[in-house]
Amino acid sequence: MKHLLISRIESLYHTMLRIRRVEEAIAGHYPMQEMRCPVHLSIGQEAVAAGVCAALRQQDGVFSNHRAHAHYLAKGGSLTAMLAEIYGKAEGCCKGIGGSMHMIDLAAGFLGAVPIVGATVPLAVGAAWAAKLRGEDKVITVFFGDGTFEEGAVYESINFAVLHRLPVLFVCENNLYACYTRLSTRQPDRPIHTVATACGCKAVTADGNDALAVFDAASSAVADLRAGGYPVFLECSTYRWREHCGPNMDDDLDYRPKTEVAAWKAACPVSRLAKILGTLDEGQNFMAHAEREISAEINTAFAGALAGGIPQQTDLPGYLYA
């Protein structure tokens, strides 16, 4: 039992550290002006992606939004294809058509991420509906932010999912802000998940900076869904460390209280598990090894992405229609 828990912690830690180091590397390379597209980094929010995706199987589907890197990587999306896409290369996951805001890796069950806020929530319900109609053993998850919860299509989607008892997990990453606007400027003072409850959806919460807590909540939700239960809404509280869009810190803009930023950084999801692993010899070895292995993987992936080919404009019309 104890061993199982440790290997779970190790695996969640590895997923989060990998996301963290990839995002840091993107931020590091961005000023060279070769990644010529918007990037929305997930640094600080790794536990939600890691915890939820650890509860899923490869054939389960995931949809995401503008801030998709963590979800894509946690679901098993190809790192090289993601970086190549951000570099606008032919080997990118959308062959350069999409950039950072348009991730897809169908082999990994990552069904698509696009930047129109709320756009993928109904798609997830539709995918879950299809799975049910086709009798497939599949759960569909959609990640979206607190701001996205304001879009009408989200309520319409929850309503239909509950009505038809569809195997869909709604994961709301509540990082308290939509761009520079605080939640309290956009929504009344009540927890987001209670609105899902009022729609007849089962709703649960988890500390979004605690990957184990997210994993536990997601696992029991997914077990319910596989058993034919009602859709589940999982609200995870977390925090974005860097600017809404771009590689930098933006604390100079003063839109978030300094004490708030400091408190969330102190609750770093990666350090949280590192602390547990650090008390064990085995854990220390694991972390040192993970750091080396991930660093090597990232170097190789960046080199691979940068060496990628130039996509051809003449290929574009061919993608317009099936």
Partner 1 sequence: MPETIRKITQAEAIREALEQAMTEDERVILIGEGVPDPKGVFGTTSGLQERFGMARVFDMPLAENGMTGICIGAAISGMRPVMVHQRIDFALLCMDQLVNNAAKWHYMFAGQASVPLVVRVIVGRGWGQGPQHAQSLQAMFAHVPGLKVVMPSSGYDAKGMLLAAIRDDNPVIFIEHRWLHGIIDEVPTMPYTVQLDKAAIRRHGKDATIAAFSFMVVEALLAAKALADLGIDLEVIDARAVRPLDMTTIIESVTRTGTLIVADTSWKTGGIAGEVVAGVTETAFNSLRRPPLRVALPDIPAPTSPHLTKDYYPDALHLARAIVNHLGATIPDAELVSRLSRSTPHDIPQREFCGPF
Residues near ligand TPP (CB under 6 A): 66-67, 115-117, 144-148, 175, 177-179, 244
| Shortest distance in whole angstroms from residue 208 CB to ligand TPP | 12
- Which of Mg ion, ligand TPP, partner 1, none binds 67 (CB below 5-8 Å, type-dependent)? ligand TPP
Nearest distance, CB of residue 318 and ligand TPP, angstroms: 27
According to CB under 8 A, which one of 76, 191, 246, 304 is a site residue for partner 1? Answer: 246
In this structure, what token pair is assigned to residue 305? Answer: 């992405």
DSSP assignment of 86-132 = HTT-TTSTTTTSS-TT---BGGGTEEEE-SSTTTHHHHHHHHHHHHH
Count other Cβ atoms within 10 Å, centred on residue 102.
18
Selection from ligand TPP, Mg ion, partner 1, none that 229 binds (CB < 5 to 8 A by kind) is none
Q: Does 277 bind partner 1 (CB under 8 A)?
A: no
Please report how close the Cβ of residue 151 comes to partner 1 at its closest, in angstroms: 6
**Residue 275, both tokens:** 């602390």
Minimal distance in Å, beta carbon 12 to Mg ion? Answer: 22
Angle in degrees, CA 50, 15, 308, rounded to 5: 115
Kindly provide the b/e burial profile for residues 59-90, where b requires at least 16 CB atoms within 10 angstroms of the residue's own CB: ebbbbbbbbbbbbbbbbbbbbbbbbbbbbbbe
Judged by CB under 8 A, does residue 184 bind partner 1? no
Counting Cβ atoms within 10 Å, is residue 107 exposed (0-12), middle (13-18) or buried (19+)?
Answer: exposed
Spatial CA neighbour of 105 closest among 93, 115, 114: 93
Q: How far is the CB of 144 from ligand TPP (least distance, A)?
A: 6
Who's near 254: CB < 8 A, 6+ residues apart?
none
- Near Mg ion by CB under 5 A: residue from 146, 210, 235, 243: 146
Whole-angstrom Cα distance, residue 243 to residue 266?
18
Q: Which C-beta is closer to partner 1: that of 79 or that of 113?
A: 113
> Is residue 112 within the footprint of partner 1 (CB under 8 A)?
no
Alpha carbon distance 87, 34 (integer Å): 6
Is residue 88 a contact point for partner 1 (CB under 8 A)? Answer: yes
Residue 192 sits in the site that holds partner 1 (CB under 8 A) = no
Tell which one of 11, 21, 24, 97 touches partner 1 (CB under 8 A). 97
Does 148 engage in binding with partner 1 (CB under 8 A)? Answer: yes
Q: How far apart are CA 123 and CA 112, in angstroms?
A: 9
Q: Which CB atom, from 101 or from 127, has the smaller least distance to Mg ion? A: 101
d(CA 68, CA 62): 10
Please check whether residue 23 is in contact with residue 43, taking contact to mean a CB–CB distance below 8 angstroms.
yes
When binding is defined by CB under 8 A, the residue of 4, 179, 266, 322 that contacts partner 1 is 179
Q: Give me the residues that bind partner 1 (CB under 8 A), please.
A: 30-31, 33, 36-39, 88-89, 92, 94, 96-102, 114-119, 147-148, 150-152, 178-181, 185-187, 245-246, 253-255, 310-311, 313, 316-317, 320
Q: Give me the residues that bind Mg ion (CB under 5 A), please.
A: 145-147, 175, 178
